[in-house]
Each structure stands twice: as structure tokens, then as C-alpha cells.
Amino acid sequence: MDIPSAASLQFIDKVDTLLDTSSLTTPQLVLYATESIHFLSSQPDSVRLYLGLDLSHLLHAMLDASDICGEGSTRYTACSIIACDHEHVGKRLLVSLGQTWLSHFLWVVKANDSEVNPLLAKQVLVRDAHQCVATKWYDQNHTPSAYIGPRAIVKTCHIVRPIVGIYKAIATENAGNEEYLSHIVTWHIIKNYSNLPETSINTLDFGMQEAQNGISLELYAYHGFANYEWCLTHIKEDEYDITIMGTLNPFILPPPSISISFKGRQRRKSKEKCGDTQRETCGGHRRSLSNETIVSEGSSTDESKPCRVGTSIRKRQVARPNAHFLAFHAAICNVLHQSGARDLLNKLLRMNSNSTDSPHVLH
């Protein structure tokens, strides 16, 4: 069967078949994929370069960063490269795969952002005690009286672009329909490369605007995180290290610690009903003596004083940042910087800044 390109239903089927039937171990798959990348890297510039980007570097970066999202991501990436079958097809599909990963994946997650839902912003800011999780600065309008450190505008930042949920919904509803090929191709890449568990995939339709997909950051840190200039590298459990990519420092001042912990940030949110009125509150928090950990406080804030007789209380969790979303963000960061795609996409975004077209897929 002649496969027209890596952005085709035929190529998706071939990759899925490899994933389902291959008896090779993950290291073996990586070895074969690496041989294909070496083959592409030996080709002349006229073959390897696409918009000035070396596609062999892109394939290598995708493979190298895939372990951040787990073994499933690595197997998908290796199988996609192997599916190009360079020994029989030559360079054509390898070039197409690099172009597809750039146009249908990296461009989509880089170029398409949206405003944070006001309810999400409120939930996340309250969960994070109105404090930037990286710099530990408090929001200028919600500063404790005893606090003497820097103050800033603190905003909620998406971890994963909400457009991911849109692609998932459209691709799922129109599976196999060539009219929605770009959505199907993009979702196939995102689903497999992110290696999200089914529980997370099932929430993508609405979960992109929930607290699991947000963190609180002051403006400079916000723009750096949203533009993949830094990420959170998982260390253990709910603990992460701040990893700055490239040479630009996305922080005004160095963070007080390179480590961030989300332990205790899953706040219990209560709805209190008093007669005909309702209000939402969250239990108080305090900072531990270290700079790294936020722990829950059992006492209530002034807002959440007990209501009078007849009060009914209903509680639910305000989720911590989704660890799988943070890993996906970190993997994208690494791919963009390691491959050189960051500079190319930033240039293209500047060129498209005055366009009225929605930049869903790079053409």
C-alpha cells in the first residue's frame, strides 16, 4: 500500500498496527528509530531542511523527550519513525513525518492559546493562596499583612492549551472522515505522545478549563511558562524542579528555590447555604518553614465562618495540577528547544501576528 504522507489515515493505521502488534522491547524500537534518524541526517540540506529547520534534529528531539511522558510515548514516537520504512521507501516519509510533527503538533500547541475561564482562574488562585508557585510572590491585591516580600499581578496560566480538548472532540466525533483529516492527525499525535491515561483523556472536553489545568504565576513567569521558556521537571510524587530552557531567564528575580511542591494544594472547597444565600469558600492555608512546600491548614478564613442554624455544607475537591499535563508541557518545552523549532515558530508567530486567520495548523 502506497502511503501518501505521514499526515494520512493510512499512516495512522500503520503506526497503530505497529503499536498493537510489535513484540520488540522499547529499547529495541528506539534503536531502530535511531537508525532511521541517522539515515535522514545523512541526507543533503535540500532534503533535511524545512523552513530552515533540520528535520532530523526534530525527530531526534521528539524521541529523546518522549520518556518525559512515559514508555507509551516513547513506543509511539519510535513506531512512527519506523513506520516510515526508510529502507524501502527512502527519505520521503521521514521528511513528511518531521513536517507533520511540526505543523500538526508543535505549531498547534504553541500558537493556539485562549483566555482562562474566570471560574477556573478564581479556583486556582485560591488553591494557590494567591501566590506565584515559582517565585512565591503574592498577588498585589491579596497580600497577607505580615508579608514583606515582592508583590505582583498573579494570574492563572493554562498548563496545556485548551485547544487540545477541541481537537479531541472533533477527531473523535469524525473518526475516519477525510474532511477532518487535520484534526484526526493532530489528535492522534497528541493522544499518543502525551501518553495521557484514560481518566485524563476522558476529561479533556471540559477538563481544560478546570483547576487541574492551571497554576498561579506572576506575569513574567506566566509568559515564560505559556511560551515554553521554562517547565516543571518531575522529581518525586508532587515535587518538581524549575527547568529554564535556553539562555533567556523568564524570571525578574531568581526564584527562592528551584523546587516546587504541590503537596497540600488540593484544597477542599465548600458551599455554605444560609437561608436564601450561597457562597463558596476554601479552607485556609499556611506556608511551611521551608520555601518549597505548601501545607493545608485546618482553620477557616474569615469568609468561611460558620453560618447560622439551618446551614447545609457540601464539599468538593479543588484539584492539584495534573501531573500528566505538567509532563506533557515539559516534553513540548524540551522538543521545541532541543530541535530548534522554538525559534522558527516564534518567527512564524510574529509574521502571523497581524493575520485575522485562526492559526490552527501550520501550512
Summarize pLDDT for 15-69 with one digit per residue, the tens. Answer: 999 999 999 999 999 999 999 999 999 999 999 999 999 999 999 999 999 999 9
Total residue count of the chain as it appears in this document: 363
pTM summary value: 0.84
User: How far is Cα 138 from Cα 128, in angstroms, rounded to an integer?
Assistant: 10
pLDDT surpassing 90 at residue 96 = yes
Q: Which residues contact 148 (CB under 8 A, 6 or more apart)?
A: none
User: How far is Cα 65 from Cα 55, in angstroms, rounded to an integer?
Assistant: 15
pLDDT at 237: 84
256 confidence band (pLDDT: 50, 70, 90)? confident
Q: What's the mean per-residue pLDDT of the chain? A: 84
Q: What value does the mean pLDDT take over residues 325-333?
A: 97
- Amino acid occupying residue 259: S
pLDDT at 2: 85
313 confidence band (pLDDT: 50, 70, 90)? very low
Whole-Å CA distances, 193 to 196, 207, 269: 8, 19, 33
Whole-Å CA distances, 263 to 89, 210, 234: 51, 18, 13
Contact 136, 249 (CB under 8 A): no
State pLDDT tens for residues 162-189: 999 999 999 999 998 999 999 999 999 9
**Boundaries of every domain in the chain:** 9-111+163-207+324-351, 118-160+209-321
Whole-Å CA distances, 215 to 7, 29, 236, 257: 33, 36, 18, 17
Grid cell 515558530 in the structure block, residue: 345
User: How far is Cα 136 from Cα 292, in angstroms, rounded to an integer?
Assistant: 9
User: How far is Cα 201 from Cα 204, in angstroms, rounded to an integer?
Assistant: 5
